[in-house]
Copies of this chain bind each other. A is one copy, B any other.
């Protein structure tokens, strides 16, 4: 058996993620390796922590990477914070809420859920009511759920949680970097993300940040058997995972540099570059850029005569769900777009399966040319497939959004 060296086809990835990585991120990942405790390596680790503090908008000392995909970050947060028997409240407005529920269950939690219709978000009042009814130790809430494209407002939730003595975890995988996120100002205790959405990198590293309150909970679960015999050991039950034991991971990233896993150096190089580019652009500028190109895509789809799904007032900047026109086979159309034009858009899950496509404009692909190309190809593909579309209507509407945005500062518009 012999295989050729890797040579993937060029694709424009305009689905809900993963998206094309910024070439600068891939170049950073090809840098030479250094040893785990090389001063260069520990220096890069410290820089990565600093950079992600800025990305999460936090002063949390405990801001670092979990080595794995975004899902690894979620599980690390939950298994380290949640003890068997704890009550966890999960308001579900899409597929990733179900994932939080499932992971919390596997941690042995008693999980209370509240569900809202796909395409909607929760009001703070509804969440407070649920907190009062269920008295959870932890609220686990997705910020942006790509399955429905909704962006749950979080501004008031932290204060709510603080008032009721509830820890507040949020999964910001799909939203971070492309939508406002203010860890400290919003009172979030634990947040996790991934690189493959608005951060413009490949999947495989999960940035995480923990508030002092979250750290205290985790420190209370250190056990003497884990080799750490300090005063805080053994109050809570032992964390059921070694790999995701955030107490140990903190000691590895901290000044003690206690050996845990062997850091995934190339992924760390990539994660550092993702954050470095975002911080250099400015987080506000990056969010504005995602808003601009998301608005252009939305306007373009509507201008083409298509209908969107859900409460678009609460849509994430970086993804939109569009109804598959009547008479069109959604999967065949996606395949045609991929095979004829090299453009990938997303399918859907659960109640939306077969009903909508999801189109992303995020990270490296939150760019005008990516939006215009996608609209142009989509119009042609739909016409070929026999759907009625407004000729030139998509491009025209997107161009108007870009023209109106001429007042936006240059740095934010590209």
Contacts and interface: CB of A to CB of B under 8 A. Distances in A.
A51 B5 CA distance: 13
Interface in A227-277: 238-244, 259-267, 269-270, 272-273, 276
A71 B261 contact: yes
A265 B267 CA distance: 11
Contacts of A28: 5-6
A13 B105 CA distance: 43
Given A1-B51, A50-B1, A31 B13 contact: no
A129 interface: no
B32 A29 contact: no
Contacts of A7: 31
A11 B27 contact: no
A3 B51 contact: yes
Nearest to A242: B103
Interface in A1-47: 1-3, 5-11, 13, 15, 17-21, 24, 26-36, 38, 40-41, 44, 47
A67 interface: yes
Contacts of A72: 67-68, 72, 243, 261
A344 B35 contact: yes
Interface in A136-179: none
Nearest to A272: B6
A108 B238 CA distance: 11
Contacts of A243: 68-69, 71-72, 75, 244
Interface stretch (A196-204, A367-375, A403-411): A196-204
A100 to B, nearest CB: 10
A220 to B, nearest CB: 17
A99 interface: yes
Nearest to A243: B75
Q: Give the residue among A8, A72, A239, A279 with the most B Cβ atoms within 10 A.
A: A8
Contacts of A349: 259
B106 A18 contact: no
Given A8-B33, A28-B5, A33-B18, A262 B38 contact: no
A226 interface: yes
Contacts of A313: none
A102 B17 contact: no
A202 to B, nearest CB: 4
B202 A106 contact: no
A190 B34 CA distance: 31
Given A72-B68, A242-B102, A13 B30 contact: no
B9 A34 contact: yes
A70 interface: yes
A208 to B, nearest CB: 14
A382 interface: no
Contacts of A20: 32-33
Given A68-B68, A75-B241, A203-B262, A11 B24 contact: no
Interface of A: 1-3, 5-11, 13, 15, 17-21, 24, 26-36, 38, 40-41, 44, 47, 50-51, 54, 67-72, 75, 79, 99, 102-103, 105-108, 194, 196, 202-204, 225-226, 238-244, 259-267, 269-270, 272-273, 276, 279-280, 338, 344, 349
Given A5-B28, A8-B34, A71-B243, 6 more contacts: A8-B33, A8-B38, A29-B266, A33-B202, A38-B338, A266-B267
14 contacts: A1-B51, A3-B272, A13-B33, A13-B34, A19-B33, A34-B344, A70-B262, A71-B242, A102-B225, A105-B225, A107-B240, A203-B261, A240-B240, A266-B270
